[in-house]
Structure 1
Amino acid sequence: MLVRAPGSRIPAVLATGLVTVLLASGCGHDSDPSVATPSTPPTAAAPPSATVAPAPSGSSTPGASATTAVDRQVTVTIAKRRVNPPTGRVTVGKGELVRITVTSDVADELHVHGYDLGARLPAGTPASVEFRAEKTGLFEVETHESELVLFQLVVR
């Protein structure tokens, strides 16, 4: 049984507001937290050194991800199931900040194996994944729906 004393309504209202904010902030995420729409900020499931960000636009806006000094930019275009530049290996040094930007002519999903990062690829719209290459090895970067290997990332 709940007994309310006079003036106890304020804590109840505050508690209700807090619960509403917490519930609202947790909504709208995909069931796979490593995959985000290009306009979604990084999720808690991604490693702290990784982010999923929209591709930089032609204009420079203060505070945009373009202000981050990227050590290696890799840009890939997919048209009619053809990868350009053709599939190969891209070598980066351990600790480098890498940004992979992909534009596909069909909706798909980008995935960086080993780092478990991804981004939705809306048709015709560039999407990017940015992360610090802290794990050494050979990692495939691919699309999920069309199962195209875009390139192999070598981190040394």
Structure 2
Amino acid sequence: MPAARTTAVAATCLLVLLAGCDSSSPAPSAAPTPVASPMTSSVASPSATASPVASPAVSVAPSPAVDKEVVVTVAKRKVTPPTGRVEVAKGSLVRITVTSDVADELHVHGYDRSLALPAGAPASLDLRADRTGLFEVETHATHLVLFQLVVR
């Protein structure tokens, strides 16, 4: 997890914990001490007063680590990088990201997984390579083979 995300999650947890404290206890008489995060710096002016910052508690599920990422672009019926084979170990998590200049549909043969491809915007499909063999990854409308996925 990147340091910025870790810091943000820790700060959010701290705010949630502090908000849940018993409000019937007397408030401390001193002003709260500002805390600088590693990603930001701030300089308080002598006349500045600290005010609490409320941020919503966000539950973020960690995404599984991607073992292989394949990025393909389709423009004017040309596949970049050129069609070839992508080899992965059985059990690997593969992320396929495709940007197409026309609306289309991505299809992974053998896994029967599909993904709508909007024109001009990247779209990603995560696939657990749990079957061995050679599988074509293609577009349906334009009938282009993007690559062959080899699972060993």
Does the alignment reach a TM-score above 0.5? yes
1:133-152 correspondence to structure 2 within 5 Å: 133-152=129-148
Query: Any runs of at least 4 consecutive aligned residues in structure 1 with deviations exceeding 4 A, and if so which?
Result: none
Structure 1 portions without partners, runs of 5+: 1-60
SS at match of 1:98: strand
Residue 125 of structure 1: how far off its partner (Å)? 1.0
The Cα shift of 1:63 comes to: 3.2
Corresponding position: 1:108 with 2:104: yes
* Alignment TM-score, normalising by the size of structure 2: 0.59
Instruction: Look at both structures and tell me which one has the larger radius of gyration over its CA atoms.
Output: 2
Unaligned stretches of 5+ residues in structure 2? 1-57
| Percent of aligned positions that are identical | 71
Looking at both structures, which has the greater relative contact order when contacts are Cα pairs under 8 Å and sequence separation is at least 6?
Answer: 1
Kindly report which structure 2 residues correspond to 1:1-150, keeping only aligned pairs within 5 A, or say none: 63=60, 67-150=63-146
Q: Equivalents in 2 of 1:103, 1:120: separation in Å?
A: 11
Give the RMSD, CA atoms, in angstroms.
1.7
1:103-127: per-residue Cα shift (whole Å, max 9, x none)? 0000000000000001000001111
Deviations 1:71-118 (A, max 9, x none): 000000000000000000000000000110000000000000000001
Instruction: Name the CA distance, whole Å, in 2 between partners of 1:107 and 1:62.
Output: 33
TM-score by length of 1: 0.58
Using the alignment, how far apart are the partners of 2:83 and 2:138 within structure 1?
10
Paired residue total: 95
In structure 2, do the counterparts of structure 1 residues 88 and 69 end up closer, same or farther at CA, with 3 Å as the change threshold?
A: same
Deviation per residue, 1:33-69 (Å, 9 max, x gap): xxxxxxxxxxxxxxxxxxxxxxxxxxxx97377x321
